[in-house]
Chains A and B, each alone.
Chain A
Amino acid sequence: MRRVAITGLGGIAATGHNVPTLWAAWQAGQCGIAEIRNIPTERLGQRLAAEIPDFSAAVHFPQRRAASLDRVAQLALVVAREAMCDVAYDDLPPGRAGVVFAAGIGQETFDNSYRELYGEAANRLHPLTVPRIMPNAPASQIAMEFGLRGPCFAVASACASATHAIGLAFQMIRSGQLDLMVTGGSDASISVGFMKAWEALRVLSPDGCRPFSRDRNGLVIGEGAGCLVLESYDRATSRGAEIYGEVLGFGMSADASDLTAPDAAGAEAAMRMALQDGGLNANDIGYINAHGTGTRLNDRTETATILSVFGAHPPPVSSTKSMIGHCLCAGGALEILATVLALRDGVLPPTIGFHAPDPECALDCIPHQARRQQVTAALSNSFAFGGLNAVLAVGRA
């Protein structure tokens, strides 16, 4: 089986419009969570989110192109362009390069069109409503942008979507089916309708995201996108590409039990599978980027899972969500990005918002400040509603 190199990185979230600024913000422990500004908040009970400030489609797209793209696809294209900026692929035969991306519903378009239809009694909706809303829009737009004619599809597994997408892209290159894949996820769900739906689940924090902290009280929704370019290791070295890291293993499982409550056994199966798939032992792992949502139940269950897999002395664990919120379908992509950069630079990003240890979360969660520590391999966890678990193992280049 072939080795799989990471040769392109792209990212955008509340604390940065590109990888260098995001990485600097993560190392600095900068918080991107604030009062919502981009949508009307009168009807919202919870008014915190991690929005991307000052994102202007007009900076990135001509007006006609922008009109065909929901914000979710705009973000996807922005990160794909960043990831592909120094990737050479013209030499590949058609069909040897493709896209697997998290499904990204055009929430802004969805919300606006239903408001027009039901709230304002509009008789017709914009003709681009469907192409903007369709969950494969980010994947399709990326394929169109770069003329990639290989497999292209969207993966829907809620908050594990991007991790599943990256895992599938990894497997397709490792097996020799393809030579290059653009993969990751994008999410732009901060709309009034969607926020009301999250409110109804009663999992949103009224005052911040504090993963693993004793006083944590829920998650905060974020928006953003992350992109990786995966390439066969041999091809990457032969073309002299900069290699940011290596995907080593991928594990996935289903809890097949509760709809929204996590299950330690299911998560543990996925973590163990990722290790085994990558030919890794638990003591090879020097860092875990947690799912770490900041809900009481997730963090407690994830801790139990990690202790079960790693024993009494697990590696340091941190939650990127403490800084950029829960970016849902994009979360796994941004978090693997943080993990790859941590390995590359030997800096483990912190968990911010941590106030007091919780006996039920007895982990070293790298509170407050980034830590300089060389690590050769790491895991990134994503656990989704619906009981879907996905874990990636990555190694330093």
Chain B
Amino acid sequence: MSMDAAMTAGDTRTEDILRIIAKETGIDRERLVLEATVEQLGIASIDLTLAVFEIEKYFDIEVPLLAPSAASPAATGAEFNTVGDLVRHVIVAIDRRGAA
């Protein structure tokens, strides 16, 4: 399955990820469209970190992301400006776990 196909609405993993982000950040699920940037949504860095923590727990994975406040995304090789970027990183991590 291609990444884009995996991220289309209705994919259960994407839905689970977005549900956790909504819960941890307090942002309405409807506003969490894949194109929306973290900045546009006004998500506090600590809330995003909490969301990633809960996502890792839920899927039993490790997502190699630094908090946006920690380093430039380019330096970490794990850029995520948008909700879609985050979902993509998580799905890669889930697939990597599955392949291991």
Q: Which chain A residues have a beta carbon within 8 Å of chain B's beta carbons?
A: 64, 68, 124, 126-128, 131
Interface residue tally of chain B, by bracket?
A: under 10
A64–B25 Cα gap in the complex (Å)?
10
B2-34 with Cβ < 8 A to chain A? 26
| Complex CA distance for A374 and B58, rounded to whole angstroms | 63
Asked if A127 contacts B26 (CB within 8 A), the reply is no
Q: Is the CB of B26 within 8 A of A124?
A: no
A-B contact count, CB below 8 Å?
A: 14
CB <8 Å contact, B56 and A127: no
In the complex, A124 Cα to B49 Cα: how many Å?
13
- C-alpha gap A68/B26 in the complex (Å): 15
Instruction: Provide the residues of chain A in CB contact with B26, threshold 8 Å.
Output: 64
B59 interfacial contact with A, CB 8 Å: no
Q: A131 — which chain B residues lie within 8 A by C-beta?
A: 46
* Nearest Cβ on chain B to A248's Cβ, whole angstroms: 42
Which of B46, B56, B62 is in CB contact (< 8 Å) with A128? B46
Q: Are A124 and B53 in contact (CB under 8 A)?
A: yes
Contact check, B56 vs A124: say whether CB atoms are below 8 A apart.
yes
B78 close to A (CB within 8 Å): no
Q: Which residue of A lies closest to B67 (CB)?
A: A127
Which residues of chain A are within 8 angstroms of B49 by Cβ–Cβ distance? 127
Q: Does B50 contact A (CB under 8 A)?
A: yes
- Whole-angstrom distance from the CB of A131 to the nearest CB of chain B? 7
Shortest CB distance B48–A (Å): 9
Task: Flag if A126 contacts B46 (CB, 8 Å).
Answer: no
| Chain A residues, Cβ within 8 Å of B62 | 124
Question: With A and B bound together, what is the CA distance between A128 and B24 in angstroms?
Answer: 13
Instruction: Name the 9 nearest CB pairs between A and B, nearest first.
Output: A127-B49, A127-B53, A127-B50, A126-B53, A127-B46, A124-B56, A64-B26, A128-B50, A128-B46
* Sample of 7 more A-B contacts, CB < 8 Å, known A68-B46, A124-B53, A127-B53: A64-B26, A124-B56, A126-B53, A127-B49, A127-B52, A128-B46, A131-B46
Chain B residue nearest to A123 (CB atoms) is: B62
Residue of A nearest to B53 (CB): A127
CB closest residue in chain A, given B54: A127
For residue A126, which residue of chain B has the nearest CB?
B53
CA distance A68 to B53 in the complex (A): 14
Interface string of B72-94 (1 = CB under 8 A from A): 00000000000000000000000
Q: How far is the CA of A127 from the CA of B26 in the complex (A)?
A: 17
State the CA gap A43–B50 with chains docked (Å).
33
B97 CB to nearest A CB, Å: 13
List 14 A-B residue pairs with CB atoms under 8 Å apart, sorted by A's residue number. Answer: A64-B26, A68-B46, A124-B53, A124-B56, A124-B62, A126-B53, A127-B46, A127-B49, A127-B50, A127-B52, A127-B53, A128-B46, A128-B50, A131-B46
Provide the bound-state CA to CA distance between A128 and B49, in Å.
9
List A contacts of B46 (CB < 8 A). 68, 127-128, 131
**Chain A's nearest CB lies how many Å from the CB of B61?**
11
A127 to B62 CA separation, bound complex (whole angstroms): 14
Nearest CB in chain B: distance from A117 CB, A: 15
Within the complex, what minimum Cβ distance (angstroms) separates B8 from chain A?
A: 30
Shortest CB-to-CB span from A100 to chain B, Å, is 25
Q: In the assembly, what is the distance between CA of A131 and CA of B26, in Å?
A: 20
Q: How far is the CA of A54 from the CA of B50 in the complex (A)?
A: 29
Minimum distance in angstroms from B70 CB to a CB of chain A? 12
In the bound assembly, the distance between CA atoms of A128 and B47 in angstroms comes to 10
A68 to chain B, nearest CB (A): 8
**CA–CA, A390 and B2, complex, Å:** 67
Q: Whole-angstrom distance from the CB of B27 to the nearest CB of chain A?
A: 13
**Nearest CB on B from A362, distance (A):** 56
On chain A, the residues within 8 Å of B56 by CB distance are 124
Q: Tell me the nearest residue of chain B to A64, going by C-beta.
A: B26
Which residue of chain B is the closest to A125 with respect to CB atoms? B53
